[in-house]
Amino acid sequence: MRDIFLGVLAHDLRTPLSAATLFAECIVLDAGTPPRSIEAALRIQRSTKQMKMLVDGLLDLTHTRLGQVLPITPTDANMAAICEQAAAELRAISPSTKLTVVLEGDLRGVWDAGRLSQLISNLLVNAVRHGKPEGPVSLNARVGDSGVTVTVTNEGEAIPKEIIAGLFEPFVHGDSGGESHTGAGLGLGLFIARQIALAHRGRLDAVSDGRQTEFRLSIPRQKSVEVRRAFVV
């Protein structure tokens, strides 16, 4: 009943949030809006975007807690473009982060690009939040024998094995000291990231030593949508 309640609550919150976002956009685009009102409307947009992320996270949680696979819509996609988009978003919100991106090989496949962008963005934000302050972060994608591998690495203290074991559970905020972080959301980022990997028949793992922490996504690369349609015909 608790999971159903969270699902209904999150679902019903989406409509007023969408309305608030739309009205704020109308205020920004109105040529007669004073500058101070535009700034206020932009702040409303940023706040409603953060609230939407929390609501979407609760909806994803209830999907999985009720025994459902996280919904995805696979289409022809390019992991290189997905990684570049996630990297651009991180640079926009954390311009001081020293982010290195390395993309190797033909990274095209059939995936839900939006979901994978969400996954990689979660890993990048997690790396900045829990890594060494001002430390470098790397995002690498390469072609492997069974698909595509994406890694996100940050420097910092080792995460104890007992904490790593629970990192992908919901409502967990983990770092090397096991402390909670205010402002870190509901603690659903890594949980949802792993569910996205599982929905793509892949896996998401973490390893950590005294020098760095690495999250590794491994997912199969399926045939293109057009090829599969040809077989159906």
CB 134 within 8 A of CB 150: no
Taking the C-alpha atoms of residue 10 and residue 192, their distance in angstroms, rounded to an integer, is: 15
Of the CATH numbers 1.10.3470, 1.10.1760, 3.30.460, 1.10.287, which one belongs to the domain with range 2-65?
Answer: 1.10.287
pTM reported for the whole predicted model: 0.69
Identify the three-state secondary structure at position 194: helix
pLDDT of residue 167: 83
Is the pLDDT reported for residue 180 higher than 60?
no
Is the pLDDT reported for residue 215 higher than 60?
yes
What residues form DSSP beta bridges with 213? Answer: 154, 208
Of the CATH numbers 3.30.565.10, 3.40.228.10, 3.40.50.970, 3.50.50.60, which one belongs to the domain with range 75-219?
Answer: 3.30.565.10
Is the pLDDT reported for residue 224 higher than 60?
no
Domain-wise residue ranges, the chain: 2-65, 75-219
User: What CA dihedral angle connects 111, 117, 118 and 122, to 10 degrees?
Assistant: 130
Identify the three-state secondary structure at position 121: helix
Contacts of 81 (CB under 8 A, 6+ apart): 113
Is the pLDDT reported for residue 136 higher than 70?
yes
Neighbours of 140 (CB within 10 A): 17
Q: The tokens of 114 are what?
A: 């939006």
Q: The tokens of 150 are what?
A: 């994406």
Mean pLDDT for 21-29 is 89
If you ran DSSP here, which 8-state letter would residue 165 be given? T
More confident residue, 116 or 171: 116
CA distances 185 to 61, 64, 181, 195, Å, are 14, 19, 9, 18
The per-residue pLDDT for range 39-63, each reduced to its tens digit, is: 998 888 888 877 877 777 777 777 6
Neighbours of 177 (CB within 10 A): 9
If you ran DSSP here, which 8-state letter would residue 167 be given? T
